[in-house]
Amino acid sequence: MTNTIKYSLSFLVAVIILFFINERLQSKHTIQSGKIFVEDVEKIYKIQISENDKVLELLKTDSTWSIVQADSLIVKENQLNRIFEKIIPLKKEMLITNKKEKWEKFGVDDSLGRHFKLFDKSEKELVHYIFGNSGQDYQHNYIRENNTSEVYRTNDNVYFLLNSNVTYWGNKPKKPENDETLESDK
C-alpha cells in the first residue's frame, strides 16, 4: 500500500469516528416528547394559573367548571376551551438552555414566570410548567417544567392565555328578565 492510500484511509476513519461522536453528543438534545401534556385530558379536574401573588383555580365538578376564588362568576366557555385547544396540546420545539443562570433571561424563574399546573381528581399534580415571555420572539414562549433546569421554546405563543385575573375567566350571571315581563302584564 502506498502512503497516499494509508493517509486517505486514516483520514476517512477519523471522519467516520468524528461523525459518530457528533451524533452521540447531538442525541442528548433530542426532545423525548414534544407535547407538554401527554395524558388523557379527562384526567384534569383542576387548573391553577399563578403569577407573583395572584392565583386562579378552575375546578371541575362533574362536567361543570367553576372559579374557586369567585364562585359567583360563570366560567367563560371560550376561555376554558382555549386551554384545551391551545395550551394543553402545546409542544416544545427546541431546547434553549439547561443552565439555571439563564432562567431570568427567558422569564422562567419561579418569581418572573407564570405557573401553569394541572391536577387530577385526587389533587395529584399532573404537570407544573413555568412560562416566560422574554425577548423579541413574540410568536413563541419559553417554558420550563418545575424541578428541571431545561428551558424550551414552544411552538406557539400562549402567554396571554395564562391570565390570573378572575374577570378574564368569568362573567357575572345575567339577571333574569322576568321582572320586565311581570310589570308589562299589570
Q: What is the pLDDT of residue 140?
A: 87
The string of pLDDT tens digits covering residues 2-22 is 888 888 888 889 999 998 888
Q: What is the pLDDT of residue 144?
A: 93
Residues in the chain predicted with pLDDT less than 70, given as ranges, are: 1, 27-33, 135-136, 178-186
Q: Which of 136, 57, 131 is nearest to 90 (CA)?
A: 131
N residues, the chain: 186
Q: What is the pLDDT of residue 20?
A: 87
- Give me the residue spans of the domains in the chain: 1-29, 41-171
User: By the 8 A CB rule, do 92 and 150 touch?
Assistant: no
Which of left, alpha, beta for 154 (phi over 0: left; psi -120 to 50: alpha)? beta
> What global pTM score does this model have?
0.76
Q: Which of 29, 17, 179, 46 is nearest to 119 (CA)?
A: 46
Q: What is the pLDDT of residue 122?
A: 93
141 in helix, strand or coil?
coil
